[in-house]
Amino acid sequence: MRRKSFRQGTIMLVAFLLALALPLTTPAPALAQGAGVEVKEHPIPPGTDVFDLNLGQTKAFSRSKNFEVVGHSYFKIPERTQFAKDNGLGCGFNTPRVHNGIALLGGYNSPPTCFGIVIADVSDPRDMKVLSFIPCKVGTRCNYLRWNTARNILVFGNSRNADNPNQPPAGTPTNSGWSFWDISDPAHPVELSHFPILPNGTTHGMEIDDRYLYGCGQTAGVGTVRRDELQIIDYNNPSAPAQLSSLHIQGQRGMEIFAPGDQKNPNGTNQIISCHEITFHKDRLYISYRDAGLVVVDVADRSNPRIIGRLDYVPPFNGGGLGAAHTSAPVVVDPDGHPSLVVHTDEIFDCPPGFGRIIDISDLQNPQVLAGDRPASLQALSSYRLPHIDDAFDFDTGQFVCRPGQQSIHLPWFDFRSPSLVYQAWYDQGVRVWDISNPFLPREVGFYLSPKYASPGRVDRHTREVFQDPDTGLIYVTDGNGGGLTVLRWTGAIPPRPPIPGAR
């Protein structure tokens, strides 16, 4: 009996000690909603070439929550630059698009690895094969592309870029502009036409529908054009595209003067007013216009686009050296209706870096939405951020404290199964996944950090864009540093409902 009591007492003592220790051993509570978590890097053994990993190593050296890695390729193609070859890098990519097992991948230029479009068979993500390569125009980069899958037409922009090793003769401008290709046979693409813009001009983000290209570019034939503006180009006949119209912010052309709110940042530097990224839905464009903010444009009449809403938040915020707004993605709940919410990101490389906002645009059709050149009824409901990079502040110096490398948010992508699930590319912070079922309290529900493909001279990864193939559900993630393409599968929950309304 005494031995049994001793045993019971020992068990109770151990249980008591474990209870005391429990607070020290349980995981820390999750951060508040709207805030993402800090993820520790996976250490890579010394001597391991991060640009020469097999799939097993790629999985082992990744960090993830609610993701499965199903494929990866560096795309070490012969058309890479000498810089990429000398350093053992693959292709850096920007935009991915995938349809019927074929991928279109826009090469990236910083670091200079690939100046062209790679067309690849990705039907087996473990064994992706290059089918063809389309070079950018001489002296340009061609990072941004779209695919009209119904007509098998590839459209991409060619933008002046000094890092392309293939430059025009001295004194000859670049043939910047929009290229149209027939990719009915992905192994043998055929150029249909090239629509030139301002010589030595720039292009950037774009969107297409079945007939029209909506692009950010410098329009030719209008004299001085300060940075990119909206161009609407009819490619009904892709062999002879024609510009229908353009739209710009006052101050972008000729002798125009910027409106007072578009001139200076609070820190005294000049604002960057430039069309950057475009999203199209139901005869409206949602344009991220850098320091001009979110600009909503009615294009029911393609020959006469008109601004119907704008949220300009610079100032009071500073826009940074490249300007603020990167992507304005409408939250499409009803494909036949206009959205009431926009997921909006800032690409800011200054300190502190850019983060995301959710904006209520439900009052957009109110005739009072424009007050002078400012909207009266657009409002930000919430932000979603990574406090360890966005909110570190030193009260002794009165300055934000920022990590080296590119820590900004970048381009969001919605899961086709739920408008409440957002895959967010975040440069060095990888892919972050957010549940926005409650847009006032967005919640981080997953992440994927690739092995740190830090190319020479860099300390950070370069996660650029995410695209989900609606036919397979697979997610394609591009790396800009020469890390190629990673294929993922989301294994987390799918939010069952769309976001609740913003306006009440």
Q: Identify the pLDDT of residue 31.
A: 53
Q: Name the nearest CA neighbour of 266 among 308, 304, 313.
A: 313
CA separation for the pair 198, 109 (Å, rounded) = 21
In a domain, 360, yes or no: yes
Yes or no: say if 261 and 374 are a contact pair by the CB < 8 Å rule.
yes
Q: In total, how many domains does the chain have?
A: 1
CATH number of 389's domain:
2.130.10.10
CA separation for the pair 27, 34 (Å, rounded) = 19
- For residue 297, the number of C-alpha atoms closer than 13 Å in the C-beta half-sphere is 31
Q: What are phi and psi of 316, to 5 degrees?
A: -80, -15
CA separation for the pair 27, 347 (Å, rounded) = 32
Using a 10 angstrom Cβ sphere, with 0-12 exposed, 13-18 middle and 19 or more buried, the burial of residue 397 is exposed
In a domain, 136, yes or no: yes
Q: Identify the pLDDT of residue 232.
A: 98
State the DSSP string of 29-51: PPPPTTBPPP-PPPPPPTT--TT
In a domain, 497, yes or no: no
Task: Give the distance, in angstroms, between the CA of residue 149 and the centroid of all CA atoms in the same chain.
Answer: 21
Q: Identify the pLDDT of residue 225.
A: 82
In a domain, 195, yes or no: yes
Q: Identify the pLDDT of residue 10.
A: 38
Yes or no: say if 389 and 349 are a contact pair by the CB < 8 Å rule.
no
In a domain, 198, yes or no: yes
In a domain, 418, yes or no: yes
The one-digit pLDDT tens for each residue of the chain (504 residues) are 444 343 443 333 333 333 333 333 334 444 557 899 999 988 899 999 999 999 999 999 999 999 999 999 999 999 999 999 999 999 999 999 999 999 999 999 999 999 999 999 999 999 999 999 999 999 999 999 999 999 999 999 999 999 999 999 999 999 999 999 999 999 999 999 999 999 999 999 999 999 999 999 999 888 788 899 999 999 999 999 999 999 999 999 988 999 999 999 999 999 999 999 999 999 999 999 999 999 999 999 999 999 999 999 999 999 999 999 999 999 999 999 999 999 999 999 999 999 999 999 988 653 222 233 444 456 778 999 999 999 999 999 999 999 999 999 999 999 999 999 999 999 999 999 999 999 999 999 999 999 999 999 899 999 999 999 999 999 999 999 999 999 999 999 999 999 998 887
Query: CA-CA distances (angstroms) from residue 167 to 107, 136, 145?
Result: 17, 11, 21
In a domain, 499, yes or no: no
Q: Name the nearest CA neighbour of 202 among 109, 280, 301, 279.
A: 109
Q: Rg of the chain over CA atoms, in angstroms?
A: 24
Task: Give the distance, in angstroms, between the CA of residue 386 and the centroid of all CA atoms in the same chain.
Answer: 16
Query: CA-CA distances (angstroms) from residue 444 to 284, 412, 429?
Result: 29, 13, 13
- For residue 311, the number of C-alpha atoms closer than 13 Å in the C-beta half-sphere is 26
Residue with tokens 């989900």: 468
In a domain, 7, yes or no: no
CA separation for the pair 447, 110 (Å, rounded) = 24
pTM, to two decimals: 0.91
Q: Identify the pLDDT of residue 79.
A: 98
Domain, as residue range, for 279? 60-490
Yes or no: say if 84 and 90 are a contact pair by the CB < 8 Å rule.
yes
Structure tokens at 503: 């306006």
Q: Identify the pLDDT of residue 17.
A: 32
Q: What are phi and psi of 231, to 5 degrees?
A: -120, 135
Q: Name the nearest CA neighbour of 345 among 329, 323, 326.
A: 326
